[in-house]
Structure 1
């Protein structure tokens, strides 16, 4: 399925969709997954609790945020792909980060969780048919297609990879 069009997602998500490289689910996976995992696995343990400014997340908290967001976006994708028409709520990323307790985990454990989640997400996305990808629903008070959720996810990960490069490493 082609890239999502305006109207398939909220205005807020436009930057994420733009950051996702590819014109199909298969291309998104090829263009992002292995590279992202390689990059994250290269983050040294010495940076695990680093934060670039007062009140900003540590590297571990940022990675936990990426994990939480991937789970939420894929729950939305599953819900809508299965034609469940329930409207799904938004989430407050700062509240999630505050209670996620990433600080008690090792960076290696967080990386492993992220890697396994990425593999699971890729397999789930590859299992979806063109009809599944066209399905839509309401999340965070905005209409969104399953296809757009995949692009938002990959773009969100790319966004945080850029932040890690520019501000943390």
Structure 2
């Protein structure tokens, strides 16, 4: 499954930048793997002292960005699972800023954040490997907009790519 096969009816417009951020020729499975490898490469260049760095007042720290990636991927896993199982409940949005504020990411080690990110991504890979082509095309309602299971997978990848770019540009 490649991002080029998605239609704009499969995801909320809000996520268009994340979708645009994905190379059209790569499969979702390859993207999941290369995406986490890119994140691992970045975290290997971060010193423990840098975890508390924020590039401007009111911006997240490096630790908070990493925790945000973990939390958001879990939320999207849940959304994908609900839709995959035919749940037509309108899945609510969430306040990602409050999640960061409540996360206590500043008390975590780089190793613990890296390990959790890898475990969560392994879980995403296992989840998506369990879906048939028919399930990947199922649509539900995510934050008052239609979303397909396969689009959510690409949103996960695009969201991580977005934050990797920010980490490289603003934090490292």
TM-score w.r.t. length of structure 2: 0.92
1:86 aligned to which of 86, 89, 108: 89
Partners of 1:72 and 1:31 in 2: CA distance: 21
Partners of 1:164 and 1:28 in 2: CA distance: 19
1:149 aligns with 2:149: no
Partners of 1:145 and 1:151 in 2: CA distance: 10
What RMSD, in angstroms, separates the aligned Cα atoms of the two structures?
Answer: 1.4
Q: Is the 8 A contact 1:137 1:143 kept in 2?
A: yes
Q: Is the 8 A contact 2:80 2:152 kept in 1?
A: yes
Counterpart in the other structure of 2:47: 44
Listed one character per residue, the Cα deviations across residues 7-55 of structure 1 (whole Å, up to 9, x for unaligned) are 1111110010111234432232344232332323332212110000111
Say how many residue pairs are matched: 169
Q: Is the 8 A contact 2:138 2:149 kept in 1?
A: yes
Q: Is the 8 A contact 2:32 2:121 kept in 1?
A: no
Q: Is the 8 A contact 2:19 2:154 kept in 1?
A: yes
Once the two structures are TM-superposed, the CA of residue 142 in structure 1 deviates from its matched residue by 0.9
Where in structure 2 are the equivalents of 1:19-58 lying within 5 Å?
Answer: 19-21=21-23, 22-58=25-61
Once the two structures are TM-superposed, the CA of residue 85 in structure 1 deviates from its matched residue by 1.0
Q: Is the 8 A contact 1:20 1:152 kept in 2?
A: no
Partners of 1:31 and 1:109 in 2: CA distance: 20
Listed one character per residue, the Cα deviations across residues 55-75 of structure 1 (whole Å, up to 9, x for unaligned) are 111000011111110000110
Partners of 2:116 and 2:30 in 1: CA distance: 23
Partners of 2:63 and 2:141 in 1: CA distance: 30
Runs of 4+ in 1 over 3 A off after TM superposition: none
TM-score w.r.t. length of structure 1: 0.94
Counterpart in the other structure of 2:20: 18
2:72 aligned to which of 63, 69, 74: 69
For the residue of structure 1 that corresponds to 2:147, the secondary structure is strand
